[in-house]
Every structure is written in C-alpha cells, then in structure tokens.
Amino acid sequence: MKTTFPVSGMHCASCAVNIASSLKEVSGVTDAGVNFATGKATVEYDGSKATMAHLHKAVADAGYSVPVEEHHHFSDLAVARRRALWASAFAAPVLVLAMIGSSIPAASDIEAVLATIVVAIFGASFHATTFKLLKRGKANMDTLVSLGTVAALGLSWFELFRGGDLYFEAASVITAFILLGRWAEAKSRGRASEAMTKLLSLAPKTAHRVIGDAVEEVAVDALKIGDIVMVKPGEKIPLDGKIIQGTTTIDESMVTGESVPARRVEGDEVIGGTVNIDGALRISITKTSDQSLLAQIVKMVEDAQTKKAPIEKLADRISGVFVPIVIALSILVLVGMMVSGSSIDAAVIRAVSILVIACPCALGLATPIAVLVGTGAGAERGVLVKDGTALEHASRVTRVFFDKTGTLTEGKPVVTDVLPFGSATKDDVLAKAADLESLSEHPLAAAIVLAVGDRANRINPTDVLVTPGEGIFGSVSGIDVAVGTESFLRGRGMKLPNLSPAFALRSEGKTVVFVGAGKECIGAIALRDEPRAGAIEAIADLKKMGIAATMVTGDHADAAKAIAKRVGIDDVVAEVKPGEKRSVVMNVQEKGEVVAFVGDGINDAPALSQADLGIAMGSGTDIAIEAGHVVVLSGGPSALGAVVDALRLTRGTYAIIRQNLFWAFAYNIIGIPLAMLGFLSPMLAGGAMVFSSISVVLNALRLRKYGRKVA
C-alpha cells in the first residue's frame, strides 16, 4: 500500500530526514520519504503489519505531528507569525539595554528576564523537538538552535551572578531572528504552492443536475457518471463530460494553457473546471470528481513534487550527517579554546556561533522548493512534469525526436486526390477503402471515411486484420480488400500496376495509401495533413537552444521530407515501423546523445519510455501520456510552443536547483570556518543563516514567471 499525508512542524531538511527515518523503523514499512517543501510524507507499507495510526505515531515520536485540518498550512503560518512577532517584541528591549544599559538601574536583571522568556517560551518548539530527538539519538536544525541559545542564555545567567560579560541579547535576538526567518520562509513556501491551490480551486463546488423537467443544485462530488447537468453561459463546467445539447466556446486555458478559446459542439468532450463562455449546454457526465482530468493533473503534479530527484537525495544524505558533524566541531572548538587558555565566555560564544551558522536549512530547501515552484508553474501553463528525474535529463538534452502525424502535423488529414487504376472508378476506390477503414481509428482512416460521407449502402467488413504502420485487410461482401502501403498489398498477393503517378504526389508532402480488391490494386488515395500552427517557430527555437530536431515517422520518405522541409527540420528518419521507433532512439543514445521524444500515439509509447525525456502530447492517447515523463496538455495551435516551453521550464528548474545548491554549500563552506575563527558573532551568524534560507526560496520563485528568459 502507498499513502501520502501532511506533516506539521518541519523547519529544515534534516527534519524531513529524521521523520523519514522514524517512519522506516515502523514494522511493515518498505519505504518512506518526506518532502520538506511540500510538507508531505509518502510511505509504502504492508497494510497487514502497519496502520495509519502506527505511521502517525512514528511522526509524533520524531517530534512532529499530522494535522487533521485540511488547510493546516494557514494555521502553521499563523503560529509562526505569532511566535516571531512576540519574540521580536521581547528581544528588541534586550538588544537596546545591552547597548545603553549601563545608565539604567537593574538593566541586567531586565535583560535576563526578557531573554529567558524569549528563549524558554517563544523558542520552546526548538527545545521540545531537540529533547524528543535526543532520546532517539537523532539531531536536526532545532538541535543546533536549542543548544546554541540555551548555552548563551546559561552562560549569561552564570556571568550575571559572577559580574562578568553578558550575552542575553545574543540568545534572544538569535531566537527572534530564526523565528522571523521561519515566518518569512513559510510565507514564501505558501507562495510557491499557489499554483496547486489555483488548480484545486478551478473545480466548481456545485452543479445544476437535470432530472426530467426539473433542475436541482447539487454538490459536484454527488454527481455520478451518466448524470445530465445544465451549464449556463459564464459558468464553469463541473466535471468531464460530453455535450448532448448546445454549442459554445470554452476557455480551457486554465487547464491546458491554450490561450485560444475552443469551439465545442454536440458530441464533443469537455473538461471539468473550464469556463463555458457563450452557450447554454447540457452535458452528460463521463468521469467522477476523482477521475477527472483536473484531478489527474493535481495528482500528477503532487506526485512529481513528492518524488525526489537524484540530486535531491544527495542533499538529503548530506543534511542527515551534517548536524552531528557540526555539533562535534562546536564541542571541539569549545574544548580546544578552553585548553589553550581562552575564557569560558569566549569559548562558549564561538561554539554558539558555529552551531547557529551551520543550520542546513538552505541546503535542504534548495532542490524541493525549486521542484515545487517549477512543477506548479508548468501546471498553470498546461505542462506537467511527472518526476524529478525529468528535470535532470532535460538539462542535458541534445536532440528531440518528433513523431509526424498528430505531433508536427494537425493530425486531421484530408483526402486530396483519388487515383483509380484499370477499370475502377474514383467512387469504387473510395467506397471499398471506406468500408474497410470504418473499423479503424487511425487518422487516415477517419479522413477516408469522412471523404465518402453518408452512404446508405455502407457494407460492414468481416475478418478484419490490422498491421500497425502497414495497413488493414478484411473481407467486404466476400471480396478481399486491403488498404495500406504498396509492400502491404504485395504481401497479400495483389498485383500492382505502374505506381509512378501516385509516388509523385508524395513530393508534395502528401501521404499515399493504396487500395486493393481481389487480386489487384485498384487505386491510390492521397491525403494531406497540414503542419501544426507554430511548428516552424518551435523548431527554430530549439535550434537557438542548441538542440537538434529529427522527424521520425512511418510515412514514406518523400512525404516526410516535404513536411520536414516546411517546418525547418533537416534530419528525417522515415518508413519506420511502430516497433522500430524505440530502436531509433536507442541507436542515437548509444552515440552519447541525450534524447527527448515527442509523440502522441499508442505506437509512440515504447519510444517515449526509452527516451531520456519522453514528452507526450496531452491530445494523444492515454498510453502515450502514461509513458511520457512530461505531458503537454495543449492540443491547439500553441501545442508545439508548449513543448519548447516544457524544455525551457525543466532546464530552468534544474538550473535553479544547481544555483541553490551551490550557494547553500558555499554559505556553509565559508560560514563555518569564519565562525570557528571568531569572525562571526552569534547574532550575525543567525541573521546570515536566515538570509540563506530565504534567498534560495526567492531564487526558486523566479520560476513562477518562467519563459524565454529562463534556462
């Protein structure tokens, strides 16, 4: 079994590592991961050995909690704000008194009381978590803060009675600094997850269900498959369904990223959460709320944010051992200074500085916050990144393979020419082809059937056999009929005449299929599929990014090259059977290239899975979408532009991750030695630590406006 649930009270990556460790200790748990940025734990477990109660107890034992309310982030934010403001209000007088206190009676006593309140009351969460973790032999950022502030406070009380130097302002201001930083960080993480909040808010809460002549308002969750709903102009469509009455224009931009409103008529599918602009509709519900496209999008994005990218696992491992090493360093410096003759005051303060400067918050946030923002920004624009691995692969892509039909082209071919052979007529050729193709779902088949129109004497074929990428064969009124490539007809024992007139049409970018009846080929049908709008611009953009483009198709080389030339692709691999597309990708990978594959059909699924980065067009089949690492939901004019945007987004997200990790490592590599050498006071160390955490969040937030300038 697998479950995902929220966790409250996390402050850093080592918190997440400790919770995951606690969960893994539960009998029956096979794997557990905790994402600090999203505040969620994902656990795989044996339901016969472990229960949700066991998992929640493991979280509590680690010093954290599982919130019961749905919007726990807002309550966590309120608590963080309250603690930060009260701590600041009490710490400010301590700092003022430390600077001018010599002229005020009992100033030291006031400092002591106020500082103790700040550390003991407003910083209580640090100490409580530290105590629980130490009982389990663990440590995290809270441990560093707790040890540092308690040490500074304890030393100050000791010196107060002895008449020495006081450091109450260090203990209180550090606590206030860190609480303020957590509040700011929580607000930033809230902004980072706004995209998911917007997605969830797209779905309307109520719908107008039609029962006979009556219309009743019901909760969307109460709708069942087959229910009829009425949607007025300006209202949101409640769930995925099919229009059974009415014509309208629908704004699908919030789900697909497609800016141009789509015209929808009776019989068309519609998406829940989209806006009905100008027509009154009656819709038959085809999917429940948990099966809808919007629900799938939300789940896909949440899964991507929960799954750890390989680079993030490295950061987690470092965070897991970092805190114990820092504690050991601070003790070493403390003991070393005292042995060398330094005062206990100086030794403790330097040890406190090391503890505070080394909190690995920025390191833990670097990757998950970038993934959180990047995947959310993509979802808003109809680009779904399914896992963190895609981010790393996308950053290294050198070549993109494009399927032709339905990817580089509109996928809506039309019959342009019919060439009869021998004594056959155009009507004979079209009629026999349409009878057989009526059982096929291929775009070319649909175009042929459409070209014939409604014929009263349509004959249903029997014994139909489809050979993907080659053709279809069956019996029509007792006569063997084949539609497909010339080699397909030849393989069926059919005699072929001079095909030169048909071959000539391929140079015009037309796809040519041959029709055979009985023992001979009776004609050819040419079809043209126009390139998608934006294809030329998309290919040009890829070239500017230094990425090569290749068309791979089962179509004849002449027809493929004609389309490729129109969109600006120089490299074409044609006449490839469906099962061979994966081999084409593998051959290029073996030469050291990192490959992305863009496709939309069932026959693209193996290649999508084999590619380092599979980009599935959302207008395609479910199996292609499942096989892809990135899904582009837009099926309209901007679809190929969205593919380029997907590459920019994934590249940009990975670039932000690397920037964040670099600065997080640099901060600790520089800061810890400075603290060890005494160049950083505890207060300055606290401020720097807070700034480092907020800086990686702000850097990641740049991805919310990703586009041509990010990558």
Catalytic residues: 403
Look up residue 57 and give its two tokens.
């107890």
The Cα 267–Cα 5 span in angstroms is 39
Q: Beta-carbon neighbour count of residue 643 at 10 Å?
A: 26
Using the structure block, give the residue that is written with the tokens 């806006």: 275
For 155, the enclosing helix (H) or strand (E) is helix 141-162
Question: What does 87-103 look like in DSSP terms, one character per residue?
Answer: HHHHHHHHHHHHHHGGG
The Cα 133–Cα 144 span in angstroms is 12
The two counts, helices (H) then strands (E), for the chain are 25, 25
**In the 3-class helix/strand/coil scheme, how is 276-326 assigned residue by residue?**
ECCCCEEEEECCCCCCCHHHHHHHHHHHHHHCCCHHHHHHHHHHHHHHHHH
Q: Where are the alpha helices (DSSP H) in 343-442?
A: 344-357, 361-380, 388-394, 426-437
Q: Where are the alpha helices (DSSP H) in 628-638?
A: none
The answer to whether 615 touches 597, Cβ cutoff 8 Å, is yes
User: 167, 155, 172: which is closest to 115 by C-alpha?
Assistant: 172
Burial 204-217 (b: 16+ CB within 10 A, else e): beebbbbeeeeeee
Taking the alpha carbons at both ends of the chain, their separation in whole angstroms is 38
The Cα 315–Cα 268 span in angstroms is 48
Look up residue 131 and give its two tokens.
């105590």
The answer to whether 646 touches 706, Cβ cutoff 8 Å, is no
Query: CA–CA distance from 157 to each of 333, 338, 685 (Å)?
Result: 22, 19, 22
For residue 420, report the phi and psi dihedrals to the nearest 5 degrees: -80, 150
The Cα 104–Cα 5 span in angstroms is 53
Look up residue 618 and give its two tokens.
């959302």
Query: CA–CA distance from 522 to each of 148, 174, 445, 528 (Å)?
Result: 89, 88, 17, 21
Task: Mention every residue, 6+ apart, whose C-beta is less than 8 A from residue 478.
Answer: none
Using the structure block, give the residue that is written with the tokens 């027809």: 559
Look up residue 650 and give its two tokens.
């994934």
DSSP class of residue 593?
Answer: -
Using the structure block, give the residue that is written with the tokens 């700040």: 118
The Cα 399–Cα 401 span in angstroms is 7
List, in sequence order, every residue forming a beta bridge with 241; answer none if it has no partner: 270, 285
DSSP class of residue 530?
Answer: P
Calculate the CA 325 to chain-centre distance. Answer: 34
The Cα 480–Cα 276 span in angstroms is 48
For residue 452, report the phi and psi dihedrals to the nearest 5 degrees: -75, -35
The Cα 25–Cα 42 span in angstroms is 14
Q: Please calculate the CA angle 58-62-66 and round it to the nearest 5 degrees.
A: 60
Q: Is 468 exposed, middle or buried (0-12, 13-18, 19+ CB in 10 A)?
A: middle
**HSE of 626 in the Cβ direction (CA atoms, 13 Å)?**
6
Q: Count of residues for the chain?
A: 711
The answer to whether 367 touches 347, Cβ cutoff 8 Å, is no
The Cα 294–Cα 531 span in angstroms is 29
